[in-house]
Amino acid sequence: MSYVEQYYESISRLLRQTVDEGEDVLGKAADIMVNAINEGKSLYLFGASHAGIIAEDAFYRAGGLALFNPIFSPALMLNVEPITLTSKLERLEGYGNLLLESKPVKQGDVLFIHSVSGRNPVAIDMAIAAKQKGMTVISLTNVSYSKSVESRHSSRKRLFEVSDLVIDNNGEPGDAAVSVKSLSQKVAPTSTIVGSFIIHSIVLKMIEQLEEAGREVPVFRSANLDGGDAYNEAMMERHKHQIHYM
| pLDDT at 246 (0 to 100) | 87
Assess contact for 201 and 16: CB atoms under 8 A.
no
Chain centre distance of CA 110:
12
The domain ranges of the chain are 3-242
Rounded Cα distance, 64 and 70, in Å? 13
Assess contact for 127 and 111: CB atoms under 8 A.
yes
Tens of pLDDT, residue by residue over 197-218, are: 999 999 999 999 999 999 999 9
CATH no., domain 3-242: 3.40.50.10490
Rounded Cα distance, 141 and 149, in Å? 13
pLDDT < 50: residue spans in the chain: none
Element (H, E) at 90: helix 84-90
Residue 154 CB neighbour total at 10 angstroms: 10
